[in-house]
Every structure is written in structure tokens, then in C-alpha cells.
Amino acid sequence: QVQLVESGGGSVQAGGSLRLSCVASGYTYSRTCMGWFRQAPGKEREGVAAIYNGQNTYYADSVKGRFTISQDNAKNTVYLQMNSLKPEDTAMYYCAADNLLTYGCYSGFVGGPYVYKYWGQGTQVTVSS
């Protein structure tokens, strides 16, 4: 059974940085599609960044140039480095994964039609002005 555990959330002031980590256990698929999503109160869940097989990366326009997704296969971990944080980045951040092909990985990232199969419990990020 695949389990995803996020960590690294917290409270920071605007302009600060955080690094989120997501450790995957029980993942034995040959393809890896992993992503970070966030959901703020009263808003829909949105894709923040995704990475396919440790190479292809996708980012939401709102975080391009500020966030970086990376993957360490030896540690079964995907990271989200978040710099220049803004109050509007405040949300619960979720890690997700699946063994989708490239198109499916991107599709799940942008909200459909595919939906990633495995999800973590989330880690809260709060950015104050």
C-alpha cells in the first residue's frame, strides 16, 4: 500500500522560504508522477508543481520562478522548495502520486481528467504579511 507523508510546513513572514518534503513508502511502480497541490479555505484545490520520472516538471503560473520541485529516488522523497513566499501562498499543501504516463501526470496536475491516485494528509503553510 502506497503511503505519502508530508512535512516541512509552518509559519513564515512574506519573503521567507520553506521546504516541503514528501516521503513515499510502498511505491513500486516503474513510472513516478508526483505533485504538490494546495487548498486554501473556501477555494478549490490547485496544482502547484509536479514532476514526472524525476525529469519533466510542471508549475502553476503563480509560483514559477519562486518554487522548485525535485525528487530524490534514493530517499523516495519529493521536495518543494518555496522561496519569496507571499500571503496568498497560505494553504494546506498536499503531496500526491501515481504511475500515470506523461500526459496523465500533466492532466492530473492541471485538474483533470486524470486524478492522482495516492494522496498525503497535508501540511499547513501560513505566510504572514
> What letter would DSSP give residue 84?
S
* Residue-wise burial string across 83-93, b where 16 or more C-beta atoms lie within 10 A, e elsewhere: eebeeebbbbb
Summarize pLDDT for 85-123 with one digit per residue, the tens.
999 999 999 999 998 888 889 999 998 888 999 999 999
Residues 6+ apart with CB under 8 A from 87: 14, 127, 128, 129
d(CA 34, CA 21): 12
Summarize pLDDT for 45-59 with one digit per residue, the tens.
999 999 999 889 999
Secondary structure element (H or E) that encloses residue 105, with its range: helix 102-110
